[in-house]
């Protein structure tokens, strides 16, 4: 316990803990959007997009988040421009963009002579490596995300329910859809810095799945508003537990947070069985 308290006197640890709590509260909100809008294919594309952005960042010695965010936004806006039917989550376009992103990342890493260790760092992020600018960007994105969901909850629910019905109510569906996929792209880019490209779902999707299971088991209803709130609470719990375990037992934070997310989901999944 003394060693844990001592660790929390270190600036990188405090900064990382604050970042994980903020991410845990905000990122699952985008996870709800991913699942409700059937954007699983786009999520995979964005995960490969951050690897491409990371390769460019390493090759040109540029800051990671701005580059990965730019790549993801470029991919999203390109698919928005090219896709006539967005109801399938950009399925075919996402698959093509995913393959091309990985091919470009491989070529860039090979030709730039980036070391294998630096390349592997793209897959395993760390909240301990965050700078004040990263924390500021995370806070700004989280505040905007929470405000957007809070102020537009009825509009979001209408878009989730049926886009044609939402249009008939005078809702600018295309605008809100664009805002939501843009937020998802930025969240995935930031999540890479915290958890790495392979474990982004630990704060994006797993808290939502765990929260949905919790609501079903407790018979609290499956309304989207409740799902937003429960997912955010689950994300905070996962982030705090995983981060503290990482500090206490000298574990990789990305792995411990992901493990905490998996354990929470399993507990709720089996807890509902009689």
CATH fold, domain 2-268, is: ABC transporter involved in vitamin B12 uptake, BtuC (1.10.3470)
Domain ranges of the chain: 2-268
Please classify residue 179 by burial: count the beta carbons closer than 10 Å to its beta carbon, then call 0-12 exposed, 13-18 middle and 19+ buried. Answer: middle
- Determine the Cα–Cα distance for residues 63 and 75; give it in Å rounded to an integer: 19
- pLDDT tens per residue, the chain (274 residues)? 677 888 888 999 999 999 999 999 999 999 999 999 999 888 889 988 988 998 999 999 999 889 999 999 999 999 888 876 655 557 778 888 999 999 999 999 889 887 766 766 777 778 988 889 999 999 999 999 999 999 999 999 999 998 899 999 999 999 999 999 999 999 999 888 888 876 788 899 999 999 999 998 877 666 899 999 999 999 999 999 999 999 999 898 888 999 999 999 998 887 655 5
The tokens describing 6, both together, are: 């001592």
Instruction: Judge contact between 265 and 253, C-beta under 8 A.
Output: no
CA distances from 173 to 142, 148, 162 (A): 22, 14, 10
């Amino acid at each position: 316990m003394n060693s844990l308290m001592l660790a929390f006197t270190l600036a990188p640890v405090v900064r990382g803990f604050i970042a994980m709590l903020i991410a845990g509260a905000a990122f699952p909100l985008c996870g709800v959007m991913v699942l409700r809008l059937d954007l699983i294919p786009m999520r995979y594309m964005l995960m490969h997009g951050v690897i491409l952005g990371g390769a460019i960042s390493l090759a040109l010695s540029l800051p990671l988040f701005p580059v990965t965010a730019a790549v993801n936004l470029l991919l999203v806006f390109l698919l928005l421009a090219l896709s006539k039917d967005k109801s399938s989550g950009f399925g075919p376009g996402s698959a093509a963009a995913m393959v091309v992103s990985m091919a470009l990342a491989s070529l860039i890493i090979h030709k730039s002579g980036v070391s294998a260790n630096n390349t592997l760092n793209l897959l395993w992020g760390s909240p301990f490596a965050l700078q004040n600018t990263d924390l500021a960007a995370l806070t700004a994105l989280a505040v905007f995300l929470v405000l957007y969901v809070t102020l537009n909850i009825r509009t979001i629910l209408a878009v989730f329910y049926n886009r044609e019905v939402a249009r008939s109510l005078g809702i600018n569906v295309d605008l809100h859809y664009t805002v939501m996929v843009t937020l998802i792209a930025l969240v995935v880019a930031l999540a890479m810095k915290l958890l790495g490209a392979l474990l982004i779902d630990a704060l994006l999707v797993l808290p939502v799945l765990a929260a949905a299971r919790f609501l079903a088991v407790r018979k609290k209803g499956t309304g989207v508003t409740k799902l937003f709130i429960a997912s955010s609470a689950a994300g905070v719990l996962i982030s705090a537990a995983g981060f503290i375990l990482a500090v206490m037992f000298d574990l990789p934070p990305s792995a411990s947070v992901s493990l905490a997310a998996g354990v929470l989901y399993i507990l709720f999944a089996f807890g509902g069985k009689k």
